[in-house]
Amino acid sequence: MERTITLAHGSGGRLTSDLVREVFVATFADSAGQAMDDAAVLPAGEGRVALTTDAFVVKPRFFPGGDIGKLSICGTVNDLAVAGARPVALTTAFIIEEGVGIDELITIAASMATCAREAGVRLVAGDTKVVERGSGDGVYITTAGYGLVADGLQLSPTTLRPGDVLLVSGDVGRHEAAILLARGQISLAAPIVSDCGLLVATARAVLKAGGDGVRCLRDATRGGLATVLCEWAESSGCGLLVEDARVPVTASVSAVSELLGLDPLYLANEGRLVTAVAPERADAVEAALRALDPSAARIGRVSDAARSRVLCETGVGGRRVLDKLAGGQLPRIC
């Protein structure tokens, strides 16, 4: 078998079969629980079905704290988890550029399989396509996820009420900062590792501790923490107030952001959950989050302001408006 991808690997013939068998079937066997095919028949179970789909084009494909394979599983599983779903199964498709090494594909697939096992989900179906050299950028991955949501669970920013407490599950900004430095385009070095990780246990802990006091959950990916809060304010019609000093940011991320003129509140995360909780459940949820990550914090509240916007109290006693990003700070971060 050729050790780099050729167009023949996408022909649907013998080389395609060899590629799928060596890279995907062999690597995903334990995670799939059965042979992968073009379609999977899954039990519906009780409750409601949650479906999500995502695509991953991160550059570079390997970065401190993860790679495109791990990212593809975490991103999809996390979308299910913050919807209140129990993730059940995933499908995946690879778009591979001619010339990519097969050993690299095996490494990426192994990363996916490891992460899927950790999440308790099965990889049940997939597809592979090959494009000409120069028509892609190595490897792109798409995924779809399936999960089950218990009857009666309703999570929506439209349920926000004045006094509700805002919490984040850990320090913010590390993923985008790690990607920025990994590209080697700027002469900065800092020990920043992406927070790329699963939120299944985190979401479960929030729901267990907060019960029906949990208003909504979100993973703060592109656009970061600030964008999630802006979307919540817009959906709920409520004002949100954030205390800048309470938002956890590591010293390294803070330093890189200051040097480059970036705002950590807008930097992407790949393993951070934001939640709004009724005030009487806030202490229990905060304790549950801090048991999983000591950097978790209570960062603000839903205010009784007449305008649906997000205000951030600064360290000098002033307030600034947090708005949605007018443009991306860094392309291809996930």
User: Is 101 part of any domain?
Assistant: yes
Confidence category of residue 37, pLDDT binned at 50, 70, 90? low
64 and 200 in a common domain = no
CB 157 within 8 A of CB 236: yes
As a whole number, mean pLDDT of residues 88-93 equals 96
d(CA 254, CA 242): 18
Domain that holds residue 164: 157-322
Which of 3-7, 277-281, 302-306, 329-333 is most confident?
277-281
- Residue 161: pLDDT band by 50, 70, 90 thresholds? very high
Give the integer Cα–Cα distance in Å for 172 and 268: 8
Residue 25 lies in a domain: yes
178 with 249, same domain: the answer is yes
Tell whether 284 is covered by a domain.
yes
Global pTM value? 0.93
Given a contact cutoff of 8 angstroms between Cβ atoms, the answer to whether 300 and 310 are in contact is no
Does residue 84 sit in the same domain as residue 209?
no
CB neighbours of residue 281 within 10 Å = 19
Asked if 34 and 145 sit in the same domain, the reply is: yes
More confident residue, 317 or 68: 68
Q: What are phi and psi of 122, to 5 degrees?
A: -105, 140
Residue 316 lies in a domain: yes
Rounded Cα gap, residues 204 and 42, in angstroms: 23
Amino acid identity for residue 312 in this structure:
C
Domain final position from 149, 181, 197? 149
Residues, the chain, total? 334
Q: How many domains does the chain have?
A: 2
Single out the residue in 106, 122, 149 at which a domain terminates.
Answer: 149
Domain's final residue, options 83, 117, 149: 149
pLDDT digits (tens, 9 = 90+) for 271-315: 999 999 999 999 999 999 999 999 999 999 999 887 899 999 988
Instruction: Identify whether residues 124 and 162 lie together within a single domain.
Output: no
CATH of residue 234's domain is 3.90.650.10
